[in-house]
Amino acid sequence: MTTTAIPQEVLDRIKETEGRAIVATVHNVSRSGMSRTATFGLMNTNGTEVMTLNYIIHEVTGTTLQHDQKLRLKGYGLDVLFDTLYRFYQAIGLSYEDALEYASHYISIG
């Protein structure tokens, strides 16, 4: 997927908020701790609605999208939410520095 396939309003919102409008929810952690399921969302301007980004992140990064539309994130000993967002931001064309900064600003719930 190219950045042109991502709705412009999504790209604008991410850049406008420098990643601070991203909400991440971990639904389940495997027994081994080697994987987890998660959902990423983008809050609207007044914070009342969240648009799910799982499909877009799946298309851009190749992360596994499960049948229930949750992302399967693999990793051990690192912040897989940060890593997933960092790879996503790099894939949509943000610079190395911006991708690092934006990826560190998500809000984790659950």
Check residue 76 and give its pLDDT: 77
DSSP state of 21: T
Residue range 74-109, pLDDT digits in tens: 987 679 999 999 999 999 999 999 999 999 999 888
DSSP string, 28-67: EE-TTSSEEEEEEEEE-TTSS-EEE-HHHHHHHH--EE-T
| Prediction pTM value | 0.89
For the stretch 8-48, pLDDT in tens is: 888 999 999 998 999 999 999 999 989 999 999 999 888 88
Residues with Cβ < 8 Å from 13, sequence gap 6 or more?
21, 42, 44, 45
Q: What is the distance between the alpha carbons of residues 1 and 49, in angstroms, rounded to a whole number?
A: 25
